[in-house]
Amino acid sequence: MSEAALPPLFINSHRRNIPGSLAIWAAILAEMSEFAIMFIVYFLARAHNPVVFHEGPAKLNTTAGTMNTIVMLSSSYFVVRAVMAMRENQAKTSARWLWAAVACGATYLIIKYYEYTWNTAQGLATETNIFYAVYYYVTFNHFLHVGWGSAAMLWVIYRLNTGIYTQQEHEGLINVALYWHMIDLAWITIFPLLYVIR
Amino acid sequence: MMQTENKKFITKLWLLLISLTLFSAFMAERSHPGLLSVLIMAGVLAFKGRIIVDYFMELKQANPVLRKLMQIYFYVIPTLIILSWLFPQQIAEWTAL
């Protein structure tokens, strides 16, 4: 494929046909491995404690979990639209889509805070049983990722507004977009494991 | 023109992912736990992961090694979901200290 035929996403890594930078992929694969270890812990704990893992999800706030899944999927969609807008050389539109994604990140954090408060009112805590210990460990870890992922998007918005990115060169935006999709991938895995499967 | 088609396609995928999430929530609240619901949930997870990896991360046309590395996650986790539901005792025995 000639360079001219390549989509802008691949401009900087076209020889390897990799979107974004190699560095962000090292980070993404490391983070995915970290979450994979947590999921292995979940499966082992589930095998050894089938009763608490059967009963645990029913006591969680499924509505909050569902809303957060919708919010995360929507934020990923907004990030895709931000990248598409930048490819059309529309930096302001791109920034607006990213603001929508940041709003989703903030909404996620608020819903999760509400959910933790709700759990406490129901008497659900890390020491309740191993299901809730795993639930808090995994979801709080993800909560932190959403926090710093949102902060990274704010940084990209700042750079968009200062005109640093161009239609041809906006690898920083691509990298943050890819990282945010990784955070979304982690959540769509967490949702069925902790809220749905009984 | 191409960009407009891409936007429509991505919007359709987003709505599909939202619909699958609402379906999962419905299953969680209404269905009886059983092998069928576990198979459906594992399938939904595999499908959602594939959509995000291939289209949101745009790995469908990208480096095949990187694409496989990301995709394998959504083969392994759904398989573990099914295995851990079908054979919890064997897994517990094999992993007992």
Q: Which two tokens stand for residue A1?
A: 């494929």
Whose tokens are 């398989």? That residue is B79
Q: How far is A16 from chain B (nearest CA, A)?
A: 6
Nearest to B28 among A29, A57, A84 (CB): A57
* Three-state SS at B62: coil
Tell if the CB–CB gap between A47 and B66 is shorter than 8 Å. Answer: no
Instruction: Tell me if A85 sits within 8 A of A94, measured CB to CB.
Output: yes
Instruction: Tell me if B20 sits within 8 A of A79, measured CB to CB.
Output: no
Q: Which two tokens stand for residue A176?
A: 């943050």
Nearest chain A alpha carbon to B13: A77
Give pLDDT tens digits along chain A (198 positions).
444 455 545 445 555 689 999 999 999 999 999 999 999 999 999 999 999 999 999 999 999 999 999 999 999 999 999 999 999 999 999 999 999 999 999 999 999 999 999 999 999 999 999 999 999 999 999 999 999 999 999 999 999 999 999 988 999 999 999 999 999 999 999 999 999 988
How many CA atoms within 13 Å lie on the side-chain side of A109? Answer: 14
Domain CATH number, residue A92:
1.20.120.80
Q: Is the dihedral of CA A185, A188, A194, A197 positive or negative?
A: negative
Single out the residue of B70, B8, B56, B2 nearest to residue A101, CA to CA. B56
In chain B, where the domains are located: 2-94
Q: Give pLDDT tens digits for B38-47.
A: 999 999 999 9
Domain that holds residue A166: 3-196
CA dist., res. B78 & res. A153, Å (int): 30
Number of domains in chain A: 1
Q: Which two tokens stand for residue A110?
A: 């608020």
